[in-house]
């Protein structure tokens, strides 16, 4: 049986030297599992202390919650399934969660890195692309999909030709983007100053 000598700690692994017949050899005893669990806790703590991350998450969830609340208050027939769909993944509607998220990130980066930083410039132009996409491309695609579905259903009824509707992507109007942007800005302002 080999005796362990000289344990040396090296990046989460303990190296133990063993004497063998033809000299020394080392065996790594993995101690990574407890360190990884501790590392995960530290990562979560670091994320929760990161103002950019916190303001982004709060903006996204606040906008989706406001969107679901508006649907619930204006559409009495909205069921629990539709409300959960809005909360979790449905796009479009008031306010724009894409705009809230993008503006929140940009505002928080301005606070944490400054207006003259490279990361602020990146986040600013990223926000412009996201907002432009939400108002322009996705809105246009959604309107075209609605028109195509309407035409397809009329042709199906009139000529008895089978038609499968295409997915209608919901974009945003200017007021929806503006409301989301204001929401994202003030949430980021609150997270970074309070």
* 179 CB-side CA count, 13 A: 17
Query: Which residues sit opposite 20 in a β-bridge?
Result: 23
- Of 32, 49, 66, at which residue does a domain stop? 49
pLDDT, one tens digit per residue, over 69-116 is 888 888 777 777 877 777 777 777 889 999 999 999 999 999 999 999
- Final residue of a domain: which of 10, 30, 49? 49
State whether 129 and 80 are in the same domain: yes
Query: Among 60, 53, 95, which residue's Cα sits nearest to residue 191?
Result: 53
Same domain, 57 and 41: no
- 116 and 36 housed in the same domain: no
Query: Tens digits of per-residue pLDDT, 31-58?
Result: 444 555 677 778 888 888 899 999 999 9
Residue 30 lies in domain: 1-49
Domain count, the chain: 2
Statement to judge: residues 27 and 67 lie in one domain: no
DSSP string of 76-140, one letter each residue? TT--HHHHHHHHHT---SSS-HHHHHHHHHHHHHHHHH-TTSHHHHHHHHHHHHHHHIIIIIHHH
Per-residue model confidence as pLDDT tens digits over 11-38: 444 444 444 455 554 444 444 445 556 7
Q: Do residues 35 and 73 both lie within one domain? A: no
Co-location of 75 and 163 in the same domain: yes
Q: How far apart are CA 96 and CA 177, in angstroms?
A: 5
Interatomic CA distance for residues 54 and 74, integer angstroms: 30
CA atoms within 13 Å, Cβ hemisphere of 137: 6
9 and 57 assigned to the same domain? no
- Let me know whether 32 and 116 are in one domain: no
Say yes or no: 93 and 5 in one domain.
no
Do both 136 and 41 map to the same domain?
no
Same structural domain, 76 and 119: yes
**Domain-terminating residue out of 16, 34, 49:** 49
Name beta bridge partners: 30: 13
Q: Looking at the whole model, is its pTM more than 0.75?
A: no
CA angle 95, 67, 183 (to 5 degrees): 40
What average pLDDT does range 134-161 have in this prediction?
86
2 and 92 within one domain: no
Question: Which strand ranges, in their side-by-side order, compose the sheet holding 13-20?
Answer: 4-10, 13-20, 23-30
């Amino acid at each position: 049986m080999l005796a362990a000598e000289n344990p040396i700690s090296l990046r989460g692994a303990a190296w133990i030297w063993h004497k063998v017949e033809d000299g020394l050899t080392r065996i790594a005893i993995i101690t990574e599992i407890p360190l990884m669990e501790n590392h995960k806790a530290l990562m979560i703590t670091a994320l929760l202390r990161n103002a950019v991350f916190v303001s982004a998450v709060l903006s996204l969830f606040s906008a989706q919650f406001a969107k679901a609340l508006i649907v619930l208050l204006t559409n009495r027939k909205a069921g629990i399934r539709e409300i959960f769909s809005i909360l979790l993944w449905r796009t479009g509607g008031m306010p724009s969660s894409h705009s809230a998220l993008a503006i929140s990130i940009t505002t928080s980066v301005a606070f944490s890195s400054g207006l003259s930083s490279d990361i602020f410039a990146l986040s600013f132009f990223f926000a412009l692309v996201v907002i432009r996409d939400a108002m322009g491309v996705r809105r246009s695609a959604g309107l075209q999909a609605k028109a195509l579905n309407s035409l397809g259903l009329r042709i199906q009824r009139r000529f008895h030709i089978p038609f499968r509707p295409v997915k209608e992507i919901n974009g945003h109007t200017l007021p929806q983007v503006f409301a989301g942007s204001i929401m994202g800005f003030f949430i980021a302002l609150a997270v970074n100053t309070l």
